[in-house]
Copies of this chain bind each other. A is one copy, B any other.
């Protein structure tokens, strides 16, 4: 946007070469559709330039008096009503020229993006459609070319999800409150890929750890023996907190 007028001179207090920034926050919000066993990301259609009409990660620019995390929660709250929520910072992307709003000459603002990684329960997350702009859960395998460097950010988030799954109980942030052990196993296979472990071994390992509470309630999905519904017992998990854990 070379047409944009330089909107300010540098004050005397600044070194003449310091960059001025606007800071954006972009969220990589994952969920899992347990019915169809699909890993989903939340995407929104951009309703203003740049990249008007293109899909992107939900994001916003940080406002005065607002912390980065506040901003991350704000986007989330604007897009979905979710009961549960897991949120953590992902990575900060800040090279020059990563945002087309930056003027070609080196005056004017740089745009820096702090990305956050979030997990929500699919069934409990209600999307807030504002009528005009689109918002949708995309299966990870079908994600189109996104605005900005968002495909890269998403890839980064996906890697984080895979890693976290192996050593922390994030799975229970995406699964419904009550789930079967197959649900859990399927989640692991959809995220980590097949053959990460034998079902029977996965099962006994997890049960031996003792933080999965059997509700004795049975649920039948079509043919086959009905499965027990389990619940993640945070109390029983406490001793494992901050300790190296192996789920896989």
- Residue-wise, chain A 149-166 has the 8 Å CB interface mask toward B (1 for contact) of 000000000000000001
Residue in chain B with minimal CB distance to A63:
B17
Q: List the one stretch of A8-16, A135-143, A214-222 in contact with chain B.
A: A8-16
Contact of A11 among B7, B15, B67 (CB under 8 A): B7
Which B residues are CB-close (under 8 A) to A247?
none
Which B residues are CB-close (under 8 A) to A91?
89
Residue A19 at the B interface, CB < 8 A? yes
Nearest CB in chain B: distance from A90 CB, A: 10
On whether the beta carbons of A64 and B114 are closer than 8 Å, the reply is: no
Residues facing B in A1-60 (CB within 8 A) are 4, 7-8, 11, 13, 15, 17-23
Residues facing B in A231-248 (CB within 8 A) are 244
Q: Bound complex: CA of A65 vs CA of B98, how far in Å? A: 11
Q: Bound complex: CA of A112 vs CA of B31, how far in Å? A: 30
Q: Bound complex: CA of A29 vs CA of B112, how far in Å? A: 24
Residue in chain B with minimal CB distance to A12:
B7
On whether the beta carbons of A19 and B94 are closer than 8 Å, the reply is: no
Nearest CB in chain B: distance from A66 CB, A: 7
Residue A92 at the B interface, CB < 8 A? yes
Residue in chain B with minimal CB distance to A93:
B68
Q: Bound complex: CA of A45 vs CA of B196, how far in Å? A: 50
Which B residues are CB-close (under 8 A) to A66?
19, 96
- Residue-wise, chain A 77-111 has the 8 Å CB interface mask toward B (1 for contact) of 00000000000010110111000000000110110
Q: Bound complex: CA of A94 vs CA of B115, how far in Å? A: 13
Residue A62 at the B interface, CB < 8 A? yes
Interface centre among A4, A21, A91, A166 (most CB of B within 10 A): A21
Which B residues are CB-close (under 8 A) to A106?
64-65
Which B residues are CB-close (under 8 A) to A69?
95
Query: Given A7-B8, A67-B96, A92-B68, are A21 and B18 also a contact pair (CB < 8 Å)?
Result: no
CB<8 Å pairs between A and B, sample of 8: A18-B62, A23-B23, A64-B110, A67-B94, A67-B96, A68-B94, A68-B112, A92-B92
A15-B61, A19-B22 are known contacts; what are 5 more A-B pairs with Cβ within 8 Å? A8-B8, A18-B22, A18-B61, A23-B94, A68-B94
